[in-house]
Amino acid sequence: MPVPKSEFDELHPCDFYTAEELLDEDRMYTVYEIARMLQELDPDAEIDVETEEVLLDWAIPWIVNNADDLVVAEPRDEEEPGYYGLA
């Protein structure tokens, strides 16, 4: 259910990193690494599965929204995810 804004102590701007701000030009990242970085965590940070699922809820739309600025690489083997980098 929607709630009144007045129920919150503080409201923040909905400001996301651009692809150029988040990613290094010469690196490729998995969606899991991007999810961590969007939360200012190290790309290799150990997090629990439940937290990772929540972070993916932010990362996947971010990737879709920034698709014009990204390139995609197929996984190097069947057990790896795909990779994303700056175009």
Q: What is the pLDDT of residue 13?
A: 87
> Can you tell me the distance from the alpha carbon of 40 to that of 20, in angstroms, rounded to the nearest whole number?
15
Q: What is the pLDDT of residue 15?
A: 82
* Structural contact between residues 70 and 86, judged by C-beta atoms closer than 8 angstroms: yes
pTM for this structure?
0.84
For tokens 């995609």, name the residue. 72
Q: What is the pLDDT of residue 65?
A: 95
Tens of pLDDT, residue by residue over 12-39, are 888 889 999 999 999 999 999 999 999 9
Tens of pLDDT, residue by residue over 34-74, are 999 999 999 999 999 999 999 999 999 999 999 999 999 99
